[in-house]
């Protein structure tokens, strides 16, 4: 089971608060060590001065040492001076010669610039800070070591005070930052909340574009993608609505006629008249079947009906030749000379063979239907530059210029043409051409007679 994706607010809050916590933790650790360093400096200086004072009282390094003398040092009983100081004088081998305590003595020192070495330790369960000094005696050629140690109560109190003054304000700042982050996220995500409410409160069929004006710049690419999807959905739904409306409008009348004729045939006793009625029913059924096929082909080639995933490399010259041969018997019935002029070389394009066959079939059917008996219809393919041009030319009555922009609309028929049809043939041609990114042209035929339909496809580098 997949883990649920957290909300954007939770994700940002966790990331920002985690970062703030880590920053606070790092700053506290750094502040702690910096505080120890700065707190030790003044106390180390005082401790060194006290050690030097002890050395002066014991006259170390003078050759007249007073090791039996016991200097007065704070014993920790004074509230003002709560730290206790002890000292030890030893020889170079670390043997104690005098002092109020036995302090461990290192055998060698990394001497600082002041000649003093500081070290941390513990005595009687209390933390201590020790300074060690070396005093050579030139006369006796011996080396005396002085170790002065004090407890660190004052240092620790100072460190705690400094840390409190550092950590507490930082913690308050972190709390303020958390409040600022929460408020900033609330305000920053407000446009997304408005967008979500706009989408949630929309009517069921509302596919209008989402408002991009008040959206943050980071969200606009997402809105552009959503608006593009809404536009495509709108086209698909519009195509479906047009198809349903067209089908209902165009099928209502023929189906009603079929129903009436069948009822008449059932009541008719005369075999001759019944046969005539049944022949009419058959003719109406064929027309209805053709209309349904035309409607389905139109829906299939509308935007959103089918994409370009069915496109394959094909030779337009070969496809046009095969389709023209199919229509030769229909042309012969009307005594029309249907010819084909080949390109002489392949015309490779990317396309849907079924849709292209339907498109050319509608162009040839339209030409045969409107060309008088004994006329000529010519189908040709040629290559022009980067285009493959499919042309259907006839010498019929032609289409008046004022009707040419309208003949590709659905169910549009030129008045007075005297021909019956579904009114969808050229609409299918236009949709197929649009789906293949082809240019569709309608002009007068040779010497201003008839019609010339041209469909210009972009050539493809892929060979069928």
| Mean pLDDT over each residue of the chain, to the nearest integer | 79
Half-sphere exposure of 445 (CA within 13 A, CB side): 19
Q: Is residue 286 packed enough to be buried (19+ CB in 10 Å), middle (13-18) or exposed (0-12)?
A: exposed
359-385 average pLDDT score: 90
pLDDT over threshold 90, residue 110: no
**Alpha-carbon distance 279 to 258, whole Å?**
11
Coil, helix or strand at residue 326: helix
* 307 C-beta neighbours (distance < 10 Å), count: 9
Q: What is the pLDDT of residues 225-243, one digit of tens each?
A: 877 877 777 776 676 666 5
Confidence of residue 107 (pLDDT cuts 50, 70, 90): very low
Contacts of 307 (CB under 8 A, 6+ apart): none
Share of the chain above pLDDT 90, in %: 12
Are 340 and 366 in contact by the 8 Å Cβ rule? The answer is no
pLDDT of residue 289: 65
The kind and range of the H/E element at 214 are none
Cα four-point dihedral sign 398, 401, 402, 408: positive
Q: Worst-scoring range by mean pLDDT, 299-303, 340-344, 359-363, 425-429?
A: 299-303
Confidence of residue 454 (pLDDT cuts 50, 70, 90): very high
pLDDT over threshold 60, residue 104: yes
Are 371 and 386 in contact by the 8 Å Cβ rule? The answer is no
- Structural domains in the chain, CATH included, are 8-161 (3.30.450), 220-301 (1.10.287), 312-458 (3.30.565.10)
Q: What is the pLDDT of residues 421-431, one digit of tens each?
A: 556 778 888 88
Token pair 């060698």 in the structure block, residue: 108
Are 238 and 306 in contact by the 8 Å Cβ rule? The answer is no
DSSP 447: G
pLDDT over threshold 90, residue 378: yes
DSSP code per residue over 428-442: HHHHHHHHTT-EEEE
93-105 average pLDDT score: 81
The 3-state DSSP composition of the chain as helix, strand, coil percent (nearest 5) reads: 50, 20, 30
Stated pTM of the model: 0.46
Contacts of 41 (CB under 8 A, 6+ apart): none
DSSP code per residue over 132-172: EEEEEETTTTEEEEEEEEEE-HHHHHHHHHHHHHHHHHHHH
Give the bridge partners for 174, in sequence order: none
pLDDT of residue 397: 87
Confidence of residue 416 (pLDDT cuts 50, 70, 90): very low
Q: Worst-scoring range by mean pLDDT, 280-284, 319-323, 351-355, 458-462?
A: 280-284
Confidence of residue 112 (pLDDT cuts 50, 70, 90): very low
Both structure tokens of 159: 């460190």
What is each CA distance from 355 to 276, 299, 331, 381, in whole angstroms?
A: 37, 11, 22, 17
Burial 241-256 (b: 16+ CB within 10 A, else e): eebeebbeebeeebee
pLDDT over threshold 90, residue 262: no
Share of the chain above pLDDT 70, in %: 80
pLDDT over threshold 80, residue 264: no
Token pair 């999807």 in the structure block, residue: 229
**Alpha-carbon distance 315 to 285, whole Å?**
36
């Amino acid at each position: 089971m997949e883990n649920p994706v957290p909300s954007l607010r939770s994700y940002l809050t966790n990331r920002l608060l985690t970062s703030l916590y880590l920053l606070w933790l790092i700053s506290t650790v750094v502040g702690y060590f910096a505080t120890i360093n700065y707190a030790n400096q003044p106390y180390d200086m005082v401790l060194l001065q006290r050690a030097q004072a002890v050395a002066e009282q014991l006259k170390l390094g003078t050759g007249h040492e007073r090791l039996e003398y016991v200097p007065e040092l704070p014993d920790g009983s004074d509230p003002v001076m709560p730290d206790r100081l002890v000292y030890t004088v030893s020889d170079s081998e670390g043997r104690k010669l005098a002092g109020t305590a036995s302090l461990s003595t290192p055998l060698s020192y990394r001497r600082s610039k002041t000649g003093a070495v500081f070290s941390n330790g513990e005595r009687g369960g209390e933390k201590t800070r020790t300074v060690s000094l070396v005093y050579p005696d030139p006369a006796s050629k011996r080396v005396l070591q002085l170790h002065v140690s004090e407890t660190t109560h004052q240092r620790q109190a100072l460190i705690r005070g400094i840390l409190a003054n550092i950590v507490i304000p930082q913690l308050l700042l972190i709390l303020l930052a958390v409040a600022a982050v929460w408020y900033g996220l609330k305000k920053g995500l407000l446009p997304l909340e408005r967008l979500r409410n706009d989408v949630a409160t929309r009517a069921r069929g509302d596919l209008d574009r989402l408002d991009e004006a008040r959206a943050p710049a980071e969200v606009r690419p997402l809105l552009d993608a959503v608006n593009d999807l809404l536009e495509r959905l709108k086209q698909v739904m519009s195509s479906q609505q047009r198809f349903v409306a067209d089908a209902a409008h165009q099928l209502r009348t023929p189906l009603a006629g079929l129903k009436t004729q069948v009822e008449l045939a059932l009541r008719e006793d005369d075999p001759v008249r019944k046969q005539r009625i049944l022949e009419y029913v058959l003719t109406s059924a064929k027309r209805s079947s053709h209309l349904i096929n035309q409607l389905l082909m139109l829906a299939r080639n509308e935007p959103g009906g089918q994409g370009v995933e069915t496109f394959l490399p094909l030779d337009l010259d070969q496809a046009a030749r095969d389709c023209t041969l199919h229509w030769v018997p229909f042309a012969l019935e009307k005594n029309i000379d249907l010819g084909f002029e080949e390109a002489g070389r392949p015309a490779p394009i990317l396309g849907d063979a079924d849709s292209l066959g339907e498109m050319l079939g509608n162009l040839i059917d339209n030409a045969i239907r409107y060309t008088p008996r004994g006329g000529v219809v010519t189908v040709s393919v040629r290559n022009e530059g980067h285009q493959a041009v499919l042309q259907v030319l006839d010498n019929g009555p032609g289409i008046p210029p004022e009707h040419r922009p309208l003949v590709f609309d659905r169910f549009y028929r030129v008045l007075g043409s005297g021909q019956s049809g579904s009114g969808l043939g050229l609409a299918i041609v236009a949709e197929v051409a649009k789906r293949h990114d082809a240019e569709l042209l309608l002009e007068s035929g040779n010497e201003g007679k008839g019609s010339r339909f041209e469909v210009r496809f972009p050539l493809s580098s892929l060979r069928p």
